Structure 1
Amino acid sequence: MERLINIDNGGTLTDIVVGSGTDFTFTKTLTTPVDLSQCLFDAMTKASTQLFDEPNLADLLHSTRHIRYSSTQGTNALVERKGPLIGLITDDQNLAATLRGAEEKLGLFDDLIGNRIAVVAADEAPEQLARDLVSEINRLTTAGAERLVVAATSLEREHLYKRTMLKNFPRHLLGSVPILFSREFASDTNRSRQIWSGILNSFLHPTVERFLYSAEHRLRAYKVKNPLLIYRNDGASSRVAKSVALKTYSSGPRGGLEGTRALAEAYGLKNVLMIDVGGTTTDVGSVEDSTISVDRRGSIQGVGISYEMSNVHSFGVGGSSIITVHDGVITVGPESVGAAPGPACFGFGGTQATITDVNLLLGVLDPETYLNGELALDAERSRAVITKTVAVPLGITLEEALIRMEATYSSQLAEAFAKLLKPGPETTIAAFGGGGPMSACAAARSVGVSHVLVPRLAAVFSAYGISFSDIAQSYEIDVTGFTPAEIETAKAAMLLDASRDMFQEGHDIDDCELEWTDLLEDGSEILSLKAIFRLPHPVLEGGSPAATTPAVVNGTRQVRSSASQVDTVSVYQLDEQQPGAAASGPAIVEGPFFTARVPLGWNLTVSNAGDLLLTDNIHS
């Protein structure tokens, strides 16, 4: 039996799905930010316990074909600006102004680079160039630059800088302050995109690098034959040595989009808007006519990059986003308490309020069943923190603070996806992640969407979506002005590169699908090749029974609906319902590792696959 392990590492929780054919085992564990490999192995050990009735990581690993790993750490690092200080070396005096550009780029440029810019003359003699480079590198590193990006006006000059640096600096110094040469890093006819790609990759690289070194070292101890695969934001996977940090940005949400596309096809949905609410961010993307919205040249926080990306937008609104008061106004994020210390109710020392604390005190969450009962929540800690940081500063009661905090959170969540929303009765919101099912209905109603789909695997859905990925490598070259013979030579060189890379991935090029594309971009002719080795994919079941039956009530819960009112709400265990089970809100549905809130005016139905279909009677 060959299993596929899919892992989605978030800022607060790490999800794992172990699949073999149509059989899936899944679980969650707290992220360990000090050492991300620890939560990876914690998750796999928990999954092995479910499979073998006892912890048996060795047998799980030796029966696994591939481990595919995705992380939101890069996304979270950029949202929260937690990364290395970057220094920029160039011979273009106007480069800084060009890169700053519009307002959104200006803020990102100043946060990542600021005044750590070195401009060397474009026509210096080799001796003077060497002196200037030595002086400027010393100045940048003294100013705190931990990584350097070289962006010269030509490839030849970047090569000259590289030779000069290697000659004048000891290799151990260049190793301690990594240097990236922008023209070597990415193939692109647009210079601004190319340089920004180098800057962002340098910023994201340490977060990925630290984990990968540790994870691969620990896997070697188990004599794992197949390499760890990195899931990328283009929807494919590749081994660590064949991946770059920039392609891991927003890779988890791409897994969610792949799963969303499978849902759209299974249920025959025309327009589906994905909202993946994690601990630190909410990621939003769309699937229309079973097609994922993709940008050939992606963008990150308004900055264009050289690589393809799914059109996913990340917002600093998550289950662990800090809710506080600024100038008399309740705000949400983008800062997050993460997994350490986590929300106050986790009991790990958190002193900031989050929506998790709010939902606990509102009665939406049961302190005994959170994370399937694996983490008991402390309501008293939530009460103390919210009183101190929100209620007292605003001069209101705790109850009023809870209602206003929930309304602010729902409003900001709705704002996060409103711009991507395609209004109309054919639009469905697919809500997942640990926090999506709790807030999706309220946010959907505020923007006039009446259909919400919560998959049974909502809590680990991005990890599940990775199941639809294959192993692939992509190549491209600018062939503008090439003769037919020169184009054939270029194709042969690209095919040779693909053969070598796919062999290193463990697959013969003859066993791969080859996708050749010839397109025009910015007046240039671009020839591209994608080599794909297909892996087994799951099949989703859709639809619901024609007839419905009353859902089985598993209990009740006291849920606050206003500052002065508490309602007795029915609670349904999703896994104990039969297909076609139906009920009306207000209700709480407890799924595997998630809680869904069904407000008054909404109906719920359980599908054939055990997914939760929600309909708003007010707008439908």
Structure 2
Amino acid sequence: MPSYYVASDIGGTFTDTVVIDSDGGVGRYKSSTVPDNPAQGVLDTLELAAGERGVPLERLLADVEVFAHGTTVATNAMLEGRSRKVGLIQTRGFGDTLPIMRGFKATGLEEDEIKRFRTLVKQPAAVPRRLIAEITERVDYAGRVVCPLDEADVRRAVRELKDAGAEVFAVSLLWSFANDVHERRVAEIIEEEVPGASVTLSSEFLPRIGEYERTLTTAVNASLRPVLKTSLDSFENTLAKAGLKTGPLLMQSNGGLATFAEVEKRAAATVMSGPVGGVVASQFAGARNGYRNIVTTDMGGTSFDVGLVLDGRPVMSNTTLIGRDELALPSVAVRAIGAGAGSIASVRNGVLRVGPESAGARPGPACYGRGGTRPTVADADLVLGYLNPDNFLGGRLKLDVDKARAAIEEHVAKPAGLSVEEAAEGIKTIVDARMADLVRQVTVEQGYDPADFAVFAYGGAGPLHAFSYGAELGCPQIVVPLTASVHSAFGIGCSDLTMVEELSKPLQTPPGTTDHASALAPEELNATFDELASRARRDLVAAGAAPETISFAKFVEIRFRAQIHVLTVPVEAERITAADVNAMVEKFVEIYEGRFGKGAAFLEGGLEITTFRVVATSPVPRAEFDAGTLGAVGGAEPGTRRVFSGGQWRDAAVYRTEHLHDGLRIEGLAIVELRDTTVVIGPGQDAEIDRFGDIVIQNR
């Protein structure tokens, strides 16, 4: 019997699914997202997959061996204010930790918002002050109890929070990562006072230094757990009723998969669940095609996401930025702006703006004919001639050119005094410039030269716009993978079971130290890593991983003494020796000076290890992907279509799937219409089809 490996990604506008057959064939499917019932969008794509294979949906699902999933539930709940009300319990004297924040008013804002100084204010606290209670207790930095826990005070606090409307509880006490005895007792008291209440302890969920970040992340996780659990339970039940026999896995922000049961406890670790899939897929495709340095660019219906693959590995961040909050959770580093095919264009005070507001899946762009009346990037692409109105979603959705023109004329062309075509090109130019600016922020502003990177363009709209923003950056190649329209889902299908365990255990070297192993005892480092590896192994085995398949990667966060920010340093040695400690410090200096300039390091001042991290992975069963996608010959001659480009109408060659073959060269201006996306090769560019079906665009 055939077996299938399925991965899905639910976006704001479209739901993408990849079905990999046991022989390695990759099927790509898209359907409109159903906001009120996300599982339905997935089932719609699976109906397409079943129909293509000539089997009933129930039969297809019964033969699925692995089902992996990416979700925006936690992200949307946080951004839209639909998370649960949290009752936060903190050490007496520290109840203002969240309202004070870090004092940075610009965190999470786009550049044009930062410039509006009159309206630049801090975001609302994640937990309002009325839902924060202080209790009497104190543990010092070494884990010593200096003030016993006042249990009567805890009971008072819990009752007050419950009466104030708290639906779930978070506990974040001072230095609890050094000694969790008080937090564990608080959890017991909460259960006694509010039986069955959901409780998140910072010492269990995030045992790391940084009072504000730890408290914020713990509170956010507590608020998201019930929302994610409800959604995942509904999703799993819906698919089970349709015939799925295996338990689904969920993508995490760190680029790995976890079981629904495990990830429910770490809901905040899923806020980048969808976007990181595209980075993982680009890493996979890059390794296959020989690209070690990649800028990943994902243009969907609502946002534009950018990440980096550096020397064959996704660039990671110690934090996860969601909205205007920075969570203390490691994630694949992805930056995003509100620039997608559904981004709405408008004229304000005579200035044309595009996004961040989006038309979403319902009603969507005006050209979808679902009731939308405001112009979007997709409407502009259609009016300019880049999109074929009869070939959208493989012809399943007919686009209405007249409605697109009417929306642009009313809301952009007339107010700006432009023709409809000029207004449409203005919309496209602005959104392309915004995307190029974000790529520059991720590369140039971080010390990387775009000329050293290939751009991978994917998402429903990325292949259409990449010829413009990619050329502006000066990158040598723009690669549109064959899986472009479902690239994030494909990446989810390429991922492994992953568990991250970390612990803050500050260790310092005295100023002037040259033999760092004398202050950072190898046996203490090994013991800490062993403890974390044991926890991670336990959780992976509970998720179904075979112990012999589990591998570990170790990292430390290091900073110079008296500095605030840390850098992550990999630890390669299986058992750390004195020589390995000194090598680790040398690696830290190398990374530090690479970021801040030669000579910036100051070892004479001493350094500090703040946090230990272990990343444990176990491979998920999957088929070997078929590398031979295209043959050596193509079909008939391409057609032509009029496209408005550079202020005038031009003839563009139009290629379809049947025209493509390995080694085919295409001279721009040209359009490649695949059944699930549209690729544009601009004037002054050439493209070649490689043996994997990827389209590689280069400037002449």
Whether TM-score is above 0.5 comes out as yes
Q: 1:100 to 1:337 in 2, by over 3 A?
A: farther
1:616 paired with 2:699, answer: yes
1:95 Cα deviation from its structure 2 partner: 0.6
Contact 2:480/2:695, CA 8 A, preserved across alignment:
yes
SS at match of 1:11: coil
In 2, Cα distance between the equivalents of 1:450 and 1:79? 36
SS at match of 2:691: coil
Contact 1:343/1:356, CA 8 A, preserved across alignment:
yes
Contact 2:374/2:407, CA 8 A, preserved across alignment:
yes
Q: 1:414 to 1:85 in 2, by over 3 A?
A: farther
Specify the alignment match of 1:367 in structure 2.
389
Alignment partner of 1:281 out of 284, 303, 327? 303
In 1, Cα distance between the equivalents of 2:128 and 2:414? 38
Alignment partner of 2:461 out of 435, 448, 453? 435
Specify the alignment match of 2:45 in structure 1.
43
Q: 1:246 to 1:537 in 2, by over 3 A?
A: farther
Alignment partner of 1:413 out of 435, 440, 449? 435
Equivalent residues in 2 for 1:168-317, closer than 5 Å:
168-169=193-194, 171=196, 174=197, 178-202=198-222, 204-205=224-225, 208-221=228-241, 224-243=244-263, 244-300=266-322, 303-317=325-339
Q: 1:485 to 1:149 in 2, by over 3 A?
A: same
- Greater mean deviation of Cα atoms: 553-562 or 499-508: 499-508
Equivalent residues in 2 for 1:126-205, closer than 5 Å:
126-127=151-152, 129-139=154-164, 141=165, 148-153=169-174, 154=176, 155-169=180-194, 171=196, 174=197, 178-202=198-222, 204-205=224-225
- Greater mean deviation of Cα atoms: 437-446 or 290-299: 290-299
Contact 1:553/1:570, CA 8 A, preserved across alignment:
no
SS at match of 2:274: helix
The amino acid across from 1:213 in the alignment is D
- Greater mean deviation of Cα atoms: 99-108 or 211-220: 99-108
Specify the alignment match of 1:577 in structure 2.
660
The amino acid across from 2:172 in the alignment is A
Specify the alignment match of 2:64 in structure 1.
64
Q: 1:614 to 1:559 in 2, by over 3 A?
A: same
- Greater mean deviation of Cα atoms: 454-463 or 105-114: 105-114
Equivalent residues in 2 for 1:106-117, closer than 5 Å:
109-110=123-124, 112-113=126-127, 117=131
**Deviation string for 1:490-545 (max 9, x for gaps)?**
77765664554334323332x32231636354534626361424533645759999
Gaps of 5+ in 1: none
In 1, Cα distance between the equivalents of 2:611 and 2:649? 64
1:206 Cα deviation from its structure 2 partner: 5.5
Contact 1:100/1:109, CA 8 A, preserved across alignment:
no
Specify the alignment match of 2:566 in structure 1.
none
In 1, Cα distance between the equivalents of 2:227 and 2:306? 23
Q: Give TM-score scaled by structure 1 length.
A: 0.87
SS at match of 1:110: coil
1:469 Cα deviation from its structure 2 partner: 1.2
Alignment partner of 1:120 out of 122, 134, 156? 134
Q: 1:230 to 1:269 in 2, by over 3 A?
A: same
Q: Give TM-score scaled by structure 2 length.
A: 0.78
Alignment partner of 1:607 out of 684, 690, 697? 690
Specify the alignment match of 2:544 in structure 1.
506
Contact 1:473/1:532, CA 8 A, preserved across alignment:
no
Specify the alignment match of 2:486 in structure 1.
460
1:460 Cα deviation from its structure 2 partner: 0.9
In 1, Cα distance between the equivalents of 2:553 and 2:663? 46
In 2, Cα distance between the equivalents of 1:566 and 1:115? 59
Specify the alignment match of 2:410 in structure 1.
388
1:377 Cα deviation from its structure 2 partner: 0.9
1:267 Cα deviation from its structure 2 partner: 2.6
Q: 1:181 to 1:335 in 2, by over 3 A?
A: farther
SS at match of 2:124: helix
Q: 1:575 to 1:237 in 2, by over 3 A?
A: farther
In 2, Cα distance between the equivalents of 1:453 and 1:485? 47
The amino acid across from 1:569 in the alignment is A
**Deviation string for 1:536-576 (max 9, x for gaps)?**
3645759999xx9999543221211255x222221111442
Equivalent residues in 2 for 1:404-553, closer than 5 Å:
404-421=426-443, 422-423=448-449, 425-478=451-504, 497-498=535-536, 500-509=538-547, 511-515=548-552, 517=554, 519=556, 521=558, 523-524=609-610, 526=612, 528=614, 530-536=616-622, 538-539=624-625, 541=627, 553=637
Specify the alignment match of 1:350 in structure 2.
372
Q: 1:121 to 1:534 in 2, by over 3 A?
A: closer
Q: 1:349 to 1:470 in 2, by over 3 A?
A: same
Contact 1:544/1:580, CA 8 A, preserved across alignment:
no
Specify the alignment match of 2:6 in structure 1.
5
In 1, Cα distance between the equivalents of 2:557 and 2:320? 17
1:376 paired with 2:398, answer: yes
Q: 1:237 to 1:202 in 2, by over 3 A?
A: same
- Greater mean deviation of Cα atoms: 198-207 or 29-38: 198-207
Contact 1:551/1:583, CA 8 A, preserved across alignment:
no
1:368 Cα deviation from its structure 2 partner: 0.6
1:559 paired with 2:596, answer: no
Taking every aligned residue pair, what percent have the same amino acid on both sides?
Answer: 26
Contact 2:299/2:459, CA 8 A, preserved across alignment:
yes
The amino acid across from 2:35 in the alignment is P
CA RMSD of aligned residues (A): 3.3
Q: 1:324 to 1:77 in 2, by over 3 A?
A: farther
1:372 Cα deviation from its structure 2 partner: 0.9
